[in-house]
Amino acid sequence: MPLDGSILGNCASEQMEALERVYGEDPNVQIAAVITIVEVVRTQGTDEEGNVGLSSSIRMRHNVPDPYRVVGLLEQAAHNVLAD
């Protein structure tokens, strides 16, 4: 089965719409850093009780040349998630 990119595409579209609502009229802002994190889950058969086994891989892409800045951005994102 091919990968369904609609989940990623919908998430990116929703993010862009949210940014437009908040910053769309401000000529002094620009998008600087972008990080995408995707979890890919694969079924791994079933065990003796019929439970489906799963494996998970995390893939990340970003446009930030400084790895320390990437870590800082991820830490800030984690803080924002936990603050909600």
The answer to whether position 24 is within a domain reads yes
Q: Residue 35 domain-assigned?
A: yes
76: phi > 0 → left, psi -120 to 50 → alpha, else beta; which? alpha
Number of domains composing the chain: 1
Tell whether 1 is covered by a domain: no
Inside any domain, residue 47: yes
- Judged by DSSP in three states, 38 sits in strand
Mapping DSSP to helix (H, G, I), strand (E, B) and coil, where does residue 44 land? strand
Band (pLDDT 50/70/90 cuts) for residue 1 is low
Q: Is residue 10 included in any domain, yes or no?
A: yes
pLDDT band at 24 (very low <50, low <70, confident <90, very high): very high
Condensed to tens digits (0 to 9), the pLDDT of residues 35-72 reads: 999 999 998 888 888 898 999 999 999 999 999 999 99
Domain containing 18 equals: 6-83
